[in-house]
Structure 1
């Protein structure tokens, strides 16, 4: 089953365009693939213009080793391409190569209100008790996220549960900018007085939330102390199969109905992974495997995952062996992104009153 991507523009005055990005600060895993990368490809296929980047400016809100950051940026770029994001059909680049991201972020820092930032729960979660020693960038990065989207006048953005609040902030900033500078926006030739769109969340079916293979109540993460808890996109076929065959389960057979997965987080997680990889619903998976034990289901899931993921892992490895190829793709993408970004900023500079 392939979810239909709703790509109608929220406002016919703006060209439909999707923007999304991933931080190059860790290893990508199965959850990133099913929750984000697979959907990037679906959006690309829908015909809407798609802009995808590695948000390396966001990554440095906490300290990164410079050599590692460069390598991780290439790894994320290779993962995009290996999973089906086509650099000819989508714009792929790393954020820091397009200086207008930082320029618009500063303008938005002066539009957004301190009270808005104080409501951002993710800063509190990430800074923890040591918030006085957190970087100013970590505090202000929702403003940069708004700039990332609105620099391309993005009409749609795919968001997970942890990003909904930031999209609301993006909408607030766009609305306040349009209101604060309405007369200048009209003078700039935008007769309705709205320069930035009020970005809509992208609807593409139920959100995928892949859980740990060792604890079905926790989200899959590369920071898990057990290396068996997470399938990395760079795992080879043997490692993928091993992790799934050793995934934690319970002693009961699979139910025939989805309701039977209630209170069985590990079973639910494995069924949902199978459903996502095979483009089926959980109901369809249980129609096939209901009443059977995990001794049958886990080998079938391992075979499916290897067939699906091993070619991706191999392509990522091939690309990383040719870093010049990745760098060339990112430079080309940055040039294309920069043309859109500069067109936006030419208007923004005029609207806010900068001499040029």
Structure 2
């Protein structure tokens, strides 16, 4: 049984356990602040965080600023990206009283966990990770040490706070499996300190970008959550479609048309074929009008909430979260040192 099948098989039991005993769980999730968050992030992760928080699960959100430079030479506008990401999370319902927002670089104790964790994995295991392989290929550069150890960074993010749940898409399950491996090996070699976290696979649809590819910050093909209604309309009108007036859902032969159908359908809560039937022979112009209306109607509440949240509000949430996360990380690091016989008392 492969990792995805095994994880999917236990999703029903896991969700029942979360519903019955939310206080037993702690989520670690996060953002790599390489750009503005888009509609795909909202459906794929942020709304799930808000749902789990509302259910009573303690939530940690890492703004993984150190991970920005795994595949690039400069962090770019990382401060602005962090603040805008937190604003989007707060606008979606995340509450800084119940959710801990923190930046990687502000928690040195978390990063110190990297050293013992690295001793628990092999070079071959790191190189087999699909994300490491894909990002190394996309970067066009030699594989750097930071990118190679990216899965161990994520393990430290999850385990420093003794996270039990990691909401992920199926593409990121190998990272959770690496974390599970590290937790088991540490517990077996030294002492039982860490829970073995479970990947919580979201059932949210994966939104294609406006060019038919996966919606991605690096591709620049998304509908950013910070866009105004007019900016959203302009971006959608620029999407490449085709000249066939009969609108049909065919992701292989009509990726641009199908991408817009999927986006509109997700916002409307119906199927892409149903949107296609509504548009009928209206052509690309009508399809874009329907998509613009669907997206702007869906994002109206988010935009109103976001407008009330200032960058200083976001900064205050991060400062409070950094203090909370650092305290937890220090406690965990003390436990790790003691288990390894490295709590010297001097």
Q: TM-score, normalised by structure 1?
A: 0.80
Call closer, same or farther: CA 1:346–1:288 in 2, change over 3 Å.
farther
Q: Which residue of 1 aligns with 2:331?
A: 343
**Cα RMSD over matched residues?**
3.1
Q: Which residue of 2 aligns with 1:8?
A: 17
Q: Secondary structure at the match of 2:61?
A: strand
Q: Which of residues 187, 209, 215 in structure 2 aligns to 1:220?
A: 215
Whether contact under 8 Å (1:7, 1:48) holds in the other structure is no
Q: Which of residues 68, 72, 86 in structure 2 aligns to 1:77?
A: 86
How many residues are paired up?
328
Uncovered stretches (5+) of structure 1, i.e. residues with no partner: 186-193
Mapped partners of 1:25, 1:261: distance in 2: 28
Whether contact under 8 Å (1:31, 1:220) holds in the other structure is yes
Mapped partners of 1:167, 1:29: distance in 2: 24
Call closer, same or farther: CA 1:107–1:281 in 2, change over 3 Å.
farther
Q: Which residue of 2 aligns with 1:189?
A: none
Call closer, same or farther: CA 1:160–1:129 in 2, change over 3 Å.
closer
Q: Which residue of 2 aligns with 1:235?
A: 227
Deviation at 1:132, TM superposition (A): 7.6
1:195 equivalent to 2:178? Answer: no
Mapped partners of 1:46, 1:114: distance in 2: 39
1:304 equivalent to 2:294? Answer: yes
Q: Which of residues 149, 154, 157 in structure 2 aligns to 1:145?
A: 154
For residues 296-328 of structure 1, the C-alpha deviation after alignment (integer angstroms, 9 at most, x for no partner) is: 443232122113335545655664xx4433222
Mapped partners of 1:119, 1:137: distance in 2: 15
Q: Which residue of 1 aligns with 2:255?
A: 265
Mapped partners of 1:40, 1:318: distance in 2: 20
Q: Trace 1:1-356 onto structure 2 (pairs within 5 A).
A: 6=15, 8=17, 15-63=24-72, 65=74, 68-128=77-137, 133-181=142-190, 185=191, 194-205=192-203, 207-214=204-211, 216=212, 218-224=213-219, 229-250=221-242, 251=244, 253-254=246-247, 263-278=253-268, 280-282=269-271, 285-286=274-275, 289=278, 291=280, 293-294=282-283, 295-309=285-299, 312-313=302-303, 316=306, 319=309, 322-355=310-343, 356=345
For residues 178-231 of structure 1, the C-alpha deviation after alignment (integer angstroms, 9 at most, x for no partner) is: 1112xxx2xxxxxxxx322221111332x42221212x2x1123443xx6x432
Deviation at 1:140, TM superposition (A): 1.0
Whether contact under 8 Å (2:66, 2:105) holds in the other structure is yes
Q: TM-score, normalised by structure 2?
A: 0.82
Name which of structure 1's ranges 268-277 and 85-94 shifts more when overlaid on structure 2: 268-277
Deviation at 1:51, TM superposition (A): 1.0
Mapped partners of 1:348, 1:212: distance in 2: 43
For residues 237-275 of structure 1, the C-alpha deviation after alignment (integer angstroms, 9 at most, x for no partner) is: 1111122244333425346xx8x7775433433232223
Uncovered stretches (5+) of structure 2, i.e. residues with no partner: 1-11
